[in-house]
């Protein structure tokens, strides 16, 4: 059963977590998180495709390549991006301090940072912060860890899920942050997933890479792709299921569970987009391919005119069909049908006659589904997004206000 | 000499124009424009690449294909897009009414519409409006015509230019509208250009198509591509220059003049972007190709995080380098240099040390140039854009306010 905002990364057996205040965030809120597994975990990850990848991304890629990990150390308030050799040294130092405190090796520690670009990490604050976090590691520490990685998020995103594999209870849990700078084609923002499933590293990476395509890569808040994003999963095998080493039924059960975790967290991120007042689900059907369907859905999700219309509760289907038309894939207006909720607003080349009152009810709801049937095939894709409000401008143009 | 907001489309010999109030705009302002040449003009055009092209786009493409035209009729307040067969009938009727009043053929009349999508033209208002506009055609009518095609623009865009070809004075002039739904890879918004140059249709089209690539296709306000956009140029030959029939020096002189007109008007459109408080010039140099340079510049121009930062006068170069990094073309942070105005803010992989006061002066100016040297080649591209303000959200989400 999928559960939101629950035990998170300490739900699976053998994992502990903590979050502490180290003085990195100007607000004084918690800003260093550590997640630890008592038994070595196989580890998989997907990372930002931004050419300007931050130092912690480089460090963590190497850890994933090594195949196993014992811990994740993360900070908010400083992205350690565009910081040159000093940034690499600092990221490695974060791993080294954490490793020493835990009695593991530095390349057993995943490193993540989020916050302002172009500023060096205050290592004088990082060191005591990491040490304090390790001391506070506990089996109920997921909420504290989740709160220590958020930035402009209004809340921490967390979830957990229990399934059964070869007669054994297997648990998965996750915490995530992400609100602005969110864009497809990548591992979006920070998400840490823990599980006690027994699985080999190759299949864990395969499962994650596939699931990310239909979850994290299907959300868009503002079309900006961060320099620091990563999704990391650690599997420590303590569920004692028959280890998954082939793509058998157990693998499929695990993939399905991982998908539920990632999709749920992705939707939470889109819902908590900077300044969001609406949660938009954009479902494109009748497409010749998943890629085409995704292109159309993203074109609609990223249109500032569509986003401001939904903020204004204005049923402006013209802006939606316009964004479909310029998406750059095959589109025949005379075969296209667009619905807001259950109400057809555009029907094969022309506006549809609809019940104004019923449509107003759809537009006034918080969750709105935009369905677009291309009439060209059998493939589909669903993207989750949000509206564009005054608050988004305020959050990101705050110097001015 | 290039002149802004001047004689516009009536600057060249033989052209008259008018703009009248027909009651199509809710505001009651002028909404029908007619431009006429007493001598048949060769005509060229570029049109929206949106798959959902409006009825007037289809009609006008056919006129351009015919090679010559006598007039342009345009209305604001209703886009006549997504209006099916009725829309095609109405667009053809606009041409027919105009042609009858002028004593020319319907396929001598370019038709353009801009405004709300999905609403049929009120032909009962269009017919008397067009007739009134034809009666008011005069040699000083460019301003009135310009005002009749604007929508959310704060002002009409117009310019004119006089050059000499084969010892003859040749004049060019233009009016344009465009403020929201502005996106590259197309003939952006409505722009009508008139000239008395003598040139054949093939070269006129070639000149326009080339110039559009580096002018209208290099601006971005919000990344949305309209269903109705067109740039049309009419050349009536009344300058009596030796007709341009090969790509000789005269052709180059004309292309250069057309480029000045189109670039000038494009910049005016970006400056008058919906809610704009800043005019941003994004110049990418050191690129392996024009296409790559343009991709990088557009990635920066379209980033909501970059746009809101400039609105807030926040010298947040991290958002700029982030948008460069996710543009999807080759980029090596250690070879990249970014300047705001004359001030280097990012220098080969890291933030640069800069004079905070001098940078503040740059950020507080209305016109700001962002220079990005990729360090990878000799090609370059320049894109013009604007910031993203509360006013943009207000204009496009006004239902809410």
Considering the segment(s) B279-400 as one domain, its CATH architecture is: Roll (3.10)
Q: Does the annotation list A396 as a binding residue?
A: yes
Statement: residue A223 has pLDDT above 70: no
- The residues of B assigned a catalytic role are 188
* A303 to chain B: closest CA residue: B224
CATH topology for the A2-271 domain: 3.60.70
Look at residue A180 in the predicted model and tell me its pLDDT: 54
Mean pLDDT along residues B371-390: 93
Could you report the per-residue pLDDT of A21-71, keeping only the tens digit for each?
999 998 899 999 999 999 999 999 988 888 888 899 999 999 999 999 999
Look at residue A266 in the predicted model and tell me its pLDDT: 86
Of B52, B322, B401, the CB nearest to A322: B52
Distances (CA, A) of B235 to B137, B171, B177, B215, B348: 18, 10, 20, 20, 49
Question: Which 8-state DSSP code applies to residue B215?
Answer: T
* CA dist., res. A294 & res. A283, Å (int): 9
HSE toward the beta carbon, residue A53, CA cutoff 13 A? 21
Q: How far from chain centre, in Å, is Cα B15?
A: 21
Of A226, A308, A401, the CB nearest to B322: A226
* CA dist., res. A92 & res. A113, Å (int): 12
Q: What residues contact A262, with CB distance under 8 A and at least 6 apart?
A: A174, A191, A193, A211, A212, A215, A216, A231
Considering the segment(s) B3-271 as one domain, its CATH architecture is: 4-Layer Sandwich (3.60)
Look at residue B225 in the predicted model and tell me its pLDDT: 58
Could you report the per-residue pLDDT of B309-354, keeping only the tens digit for each?
899 898 989 889 988 988 889 999 999 999 999 999 999 999 999 9
Long-range contacts of A333-339 (CB under 8 A, 24+ apart): A333/B51, A333/B52, A333/B82, A335/A374, A335/A375, A335/A376, A336/A372, A336/A373, A336/A374, A336/A375, A337/A372, A337/A373, A337/A375, A338/A370, A338/A371, A338/A372, A338/A373, A339/A369, A339/A370, A339/A371, A339/A372
Which of A187-201, A368-382, B129-143 has the least mean pLDDT? A187-201
* CA dist., res. B33 & res. B13, Å (int): 19
Q: Work out the angle at residue A75's Cα, subtended by the Cα atoms of residues A71 and A78, and round it to the nearest 5 degrees.
A: 145
Statement: residue B184 has pLDDT above 50: no
For residue A187, name the pLDDT band (cuts at 50, 70, 90): very low
Is A220 strand, coil or helix? strand
- Partner-chain contact B397 A311, CB within 8 Å: yes
For residue A388, name the pLDDT band (cuts at 50, 70, 90): confident
Query: CB–CB of A333/A351 below 8 Å?
Result: no
- E runs forming strands in B2-140: 3-4, 15-20, 32-47, 68-78, 109-116
Whose CA is closest to B293, among B185, B385, B379?
B379
Q: Which residues of B are annotated as a binding site for substrate?
A: 151, 177, 188, 274, 396, 401
Distances (CA, A) of B298 to A161, A276, B186, B219, B306: 42, 25, 14, 8, 11
Torsion (CA) A85, B320, B360, B354 in degrees, nearest 10? 20
For residue A397, name the pLDDT band (cuts at 50, 70, 90): confident
- Report the gap between the CA of A316 and the closest CA in chain B (Å): 9
Statement: residue A399 has pLDDT above 60: no
For residue A129, name the pLDDT band (cuts at 50, 70, 90): very high
Query: CB–CB of B97/B127 below 8 Å?
Result: yes
**Chain A positions in Cβ-Cβ contact with residue B114 (cut-off 8 Å):** none
Query: CB–CB of B53/B47 below 8 Å?
Result: yes
User: What does the DSSP assignment read for A87-114?
Assistant: HHHHHHHHHHHHHHHHTS-GGGEEEEEE
Distances (CA, A) of A122 to A75, A145, A205, B301, B336: 11, 20, 33, 32, 26
Look at residue B221 in the predicted model and tell me its pLDDT: 63
- Partner-chain contact A223 B390, CB within 8 Å: no
- E runs forming strands in A196-250: 219-220, 230-235
Whose CA is closest to A385, among A235, A303, A279?
A279
Of B82, B309, B326, the CB nearest to A350: B82
Torsion (CA) B328, B330, B336, B341 in degrees, nearest 10? -50
Could you report the per-residue pLDDT of B217-232, keeping only the tens digit for each?
888 765 555 677 888 9
Q: How many other CB atoms are there within 10 angstroms of residue B375's CB atom?
A: 16
Q: Does the annotation list A177 as a binding residue?
A: yes
Pairs across A and B, CB distance < 8 A: 201
Please return the burial class of B6, using the count of CB atoms within 10 Å of its CB with bins 0-12, 13-18 and 19+: middle
- Report the gap between the CA of A313 and the closest CA in chain B (Å): 6
Mean pLDDT along residues B153-161: 87
- Partner-chain contact B312 A50, CB within 8 Å: no
* CA dist., res. A53 & res. A60, Å (int): 11
For residue B401, name the pLDDT band (cuts at 50, 70, 90): very low
Which of A153-162, A266-275, B119-128 has the least mean pLDDT? A266-275
Phi, psi of A96 (to 5 degrees): -65, -45
Domain ranges across chain B: 3-271, 279-400
Query: CB–CB of B278/B392 below 8 Å?
Result: no
* CA dist., res. A295 & res. A276, Å (int): 22
Could you tell me the maximum CA-CA distance found in chain B, to the nearest angstrom? 69
Which of B60-64, B198-202, B212-216, B288-292 has the least mean pLDDT? B212-216
Q: What percent of chain B has pLDDT over 70?
A: 94
- Partner-chain contact A223 B321, CB within 8 Å: no
Q: Does the annotation list A151 as a binding residue?
A: yes
Tokens of A350: 């022309």
Question: Which 8-state DSSP code applies to residue B299?
Answer: H
First-to-last C-alpha distance (Å) of chain B? 44
* H-state helical runs in A218-278: 249-271
* B396 to chain A: closest CA residue: A308
* CA dist., res. A258 & res. A216, Å (int): 12
- Report the gap between the CA of B101 and the closest CA in chain A (Å): 31
Tokens of B136: 């008011």
Statement: residue A207 has pLDDT above 90: yes
Query: CB–CB of A173/A194 below 8 Å?
Result: yes
- E runs forming strands in A48-141: 68-76, 109-114
- Report the gap between the CA of A123 and the closest CA in chain B (Å): 18
Q: How many other CB atoms are there within 10 angstroms of residue B153's CB atom?
A: 23
**Chain B positions in Cβ-Cβ contact with residue A313 (cut-off 8 Å):** 399-400
Look at residue A225 in the predicted model and tell me its pLDDT: 58
Look at residue B261 in the predicted model and tell me its pLDDT: 92
Of A82, A304, A322, the CB nearest to B346: A82
Query: CB–CB of B19/B45 below 8 Å?
Result: no
Q: What residues contact A122, with CB distance under 8 A and at least 6 apart?
A: A23, A24, A78
* A389 to chain B: closest CA residue: B393
Q: Which one of A10, A37, A46, A188 is the catalytic residue?
A: A188
How high is the ipTM of this complex? 0.76
Mean pLDDT of chain A: 90
């Amino acid at each position: 059963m999928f559960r939101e905002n629950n035990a998170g990364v300490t739900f699976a057996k053998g994992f502990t977590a903590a979050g502490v205040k180290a003085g990195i965030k100007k607000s004084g809120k918690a800003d260093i998180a550590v997640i630890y597994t008592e038994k070595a975990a196989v580890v998989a990850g997907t990372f930002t495709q931004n050419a300007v990848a931050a130092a912690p991304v480089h460090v963590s890629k190497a850890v994933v390549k090594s195949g196993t990990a014992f811990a994740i150390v993360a900070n908010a308030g400083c992205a350690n991006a565009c910081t040159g050799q000093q940034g690499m040294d600092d990221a490695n130092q974060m791993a080294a301090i954490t490793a020493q405190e835990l009695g593991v090796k530095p390349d057993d520690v995943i490193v993540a940072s989020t916050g302002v670009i172009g500023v060096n990490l205050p290592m004088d604050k990082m060191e005591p912060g990491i040490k304090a976090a390790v001391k506070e590691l506990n089996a109920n520490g997921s909420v504290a860890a989740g709160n220590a990685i958020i930035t402009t998020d209004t809340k921490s995103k967390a979830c957990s899920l229990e399934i059964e594999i070869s007669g054994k209870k297997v648990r998965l849990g996750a915490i995530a942050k992400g609100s602005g700078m969110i864009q497809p084609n990548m591992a979006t923002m920070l998400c840490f997933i823990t599980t006690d499933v027994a699985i080999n590293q190759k299949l864990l990476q395969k499962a994650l890479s596939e699931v990310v395509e239909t979850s994290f890569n299907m959300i868009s808040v503002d079309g900006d792709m961060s320099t620091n994003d990563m999704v990391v999963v650690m599997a420590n095998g303590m569920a004692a299921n028959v280890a998954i080493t082939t793509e058998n039924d157990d693998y499929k059960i695990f993939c399905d569970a991982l998908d539920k975790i990632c999709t749920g967290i992705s939707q939470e991120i889109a819902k908590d987009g900077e300044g969001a007042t609406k949660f938009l689900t954009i479902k494109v059907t009748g497409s010749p391919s998943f890629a085409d369907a995704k292109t159309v859905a993203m074109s609609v999700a990223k249109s500032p005119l569509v986003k401001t219309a939904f903020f204004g509760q204005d049923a402006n289907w013209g802006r939606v069909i316009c964004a479909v038309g310029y998406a750059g894939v095959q589109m025949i207006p005379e075969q296209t049908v667009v619905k807001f909720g259950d109400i057809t607003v555009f029907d094969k080349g022309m506006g549809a006659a609809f019940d104004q009152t019923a449509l107003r009810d759809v537009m006034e709801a918080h969750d709105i589904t935009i369905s677009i049937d291309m009439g060209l095939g059998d493939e589909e894709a669903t993207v989750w997004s949000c509206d564009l409000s005054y608050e988004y401008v305020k959050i990101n143009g705050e110097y001015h206000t």
